Amino acid sequence: MKIGKVPESVLKRSILKQIHTKRAEVCLGASVGEDCAAVKLAEDEIFVISTDPITGTAVDIGDLAIQITLNDLASAGAEPVGVMLTALLPENITEPEIRKIMQQADAACAKANVQIMGGHTEVTAVVNQPVITVTGVGKAKEGALVSTAGARPGMDIIVTKWVGLEGTSIIAKEKQKELLSRFSENFIFRAQKFDQMLSVIPEAATAVKSGVSAMHDVTEGGIFGALWEMAEASGVGLEIEWKKIPVKQETIEICEFFGINPYELISSGAMLMAAEDGNKLVLELKKAGIEATVIGKATADNDRVLLNGEERRFLEPPKTDELYKVI
C-alpha cells in the first residue's frame, strides 16, 4: 500500500465494517472524518482510561492489543466500555491482512462487550511490522477505584491463574519450528492456546466485590517485575514464597529450552492482588472458576524478598522482558 492514511475505500470496507459491538454510553463513535469519540457517563461514575502498544509480536496482534488494554482497565476496578485503536502499518501489508487484524480486534471486543469507538490507521515506512496502540475507556463507581498502590503491611499477596501465559503463547507461535526439534506438536499446541486465558476481567470483577485492596496485571517484566512495581507503588516490603508462584509446566520447559527466566516473562493473564484475607479472596475466585494462589505477604520494611527454603533472594527493579531474548 502507499504510505499515508489508509484509503477511504479500505477504511470503510476492511476497518469500519469489521466493528460490530456497540455501547449505549458511546454517543460519538468511529466513522470517516471523525477525530474524537465521546462517552456519556452517570453523575456518580468515574471516567477511566489506559493505553498500551503491542510491539513484541505481530502474531494475533489485533486480539492481544485489545486484551492487554482491557486488562489494565480491569486492574483499576473499572468496567471497560470502549477503545481507540491506532494502527501503524508497513508498506508491504495487504488489505486481507488489515481486515484480519480488525476481525481479531472486533472478536476480542465482542467477548468483553466493548466498542471500538475510533482511532487512526496509517501506512508508514518507519515500521517493518504492524504496530497497534490501543487506548481503553472504562467506567467505575465513585469510590470504587482500585490501584496498584493499595497494598498495606500484613496483607496477603495473591496471583491468579499462572505466570508466563502470554510470553509462552507468543514464543510457541513465533518459534514453533525450533520447538518441534524437542517437543511434540500437541505440547506446542497446548502452549499456543494459553492466549485463551489472557483476560483478567473476570477475576477483577470478582475481586472488587470481595474486598481486594490492590490489583496489578502482570505484563512486561513478568511476576518479578509486577511484584516490585506493586511494592514500590504501595511503599511496602514483600516476603514471597518462590515455589508458591503458579507456573505451567509448558512455560517452564519452553523457557528452559531458550535459556530464559519464566518469572521475568511477559505474563498477561495473571493478576497480582493484595487483600486483608487472601484465603477468603482465593475461595471467592475459585467459586467463580478462577485459579488463584496466596504467594506471600506485604511487610512494613523495604525489603522485597523471595524465599526458597533457606535461600533468600532480593527482588530487583524490572529489567528488559525475557521475551525479547527470544523474539
> Strand order of the sheet with strand 292-299?
214-217, 271-275, 156-160, 292-299, 237-241, 304-308, 311-314
Q: How confident is the model at residue 56 (pLDDT cuts 50, 70, 90)?
A: confident
Quick check: 26 pLDDT over 90? no
Q: Identify the sign of the CA torsion 177, 179, 180, 182.
A: positive
Which of 35-49, 111-125, 133-147, 154-168 is the least confident region?
35-49
pLDDT of 29 over the 90 cut: no
Range(s) of the chain covered by CATH 3.90.650.10:
148-325
CA pseudo-torsion sign 111, 167, 145, 240: positive
CA proximity to 218, closest of 200, 238, 231: 200
Task: Give Cα 161 distance to the centre of its chain.
Answer: 13
pLDDT band at 168 (very low <50, low <70, confident <90, very high): very high
Question: Average pLDDT, whole number, for the chain?
Answer: 93
The Cα–Cα gap between 23 and 190 comes to 34
Give the pLDDT score at 59.
Answer: 83
Cα Rg, the chain, nearest whole Å: 20
Cα–Cα distance between 19 and 116 in angstroms, integer?
Answer: 7
CB burial of residue 132 (10 Å; 0-12, 13-18, 19+): buried
Collapse the DSSP code of 240 into the 3-class scheme (helix H, G, I; strand E, B; otherwise coil) and give the result.
strand
CATH code, 4-141: 3.30.1330.10
Q: How confident is the model at residue 35 (pLDDT cuts 50, 70, 90)?
A: low
Instruction: Name every residue whose Cβ is closer than 8 Å to that of residue 104 and which is 6 or more positions away in sequence.
Output: 60, 61, 62, 63, 66
pLDDT of residue 80: 93
Residue 42 to residue 56: CA distance in whole angstroms:
38
Q: Is residue 157 over pLDDT 80?
A: yes
Q: For the chain, how long is the longest CA-to-CA vector?
A: 65
- pTM confidence score: 0.86
Between 53 and 294, residue with greater pLDDT? 294
For 34, residues 6+ apart whose C-beta sits below 8 A from its C-beta are 28, 118
How many residues are present in the chain? 327
| pLDDT for the residue 34 | 66
* pLDDT band of 256, cuts 50, 70, 90: very high
**The C-alpha cell of 134 is what?**
490501543
Listed in order, the ranges of the chain carrying CATH 3.30.1330.10 are: 4-141
- Of 32-41, 61-70, 164-173, 250-259, minimum mean pLDDT range: 32-41
Q: Is the predicted pLDDT of residue 32 greater than 80, yes or no?
A: no
Under CATH, domain 148-325 is a member of which superfamily?
Answer: PurM-like C-terminal domain (3.90.650.10)
What's the pLDDT score for residue 37? 73
The one-letter amino acid code at 128 reads N
The confidence band for 31, taking pLDDT boundaries of 50, 70 and 90, is confident
Given a cut of 80, whether residue 240 has pLDDT beyond it is: yes
Q: Residue 310 has what pLDDT?
A: 87
> Per-residue confidence at 263, pLDDT binned at 50, 70, 90?
very high
Cell of 307: 524465599
Q: Is the pLDDT score of 243 beyond 70? A: yes
- Given a cut of 80, whether residue 4 has pLDDT beyond it is no
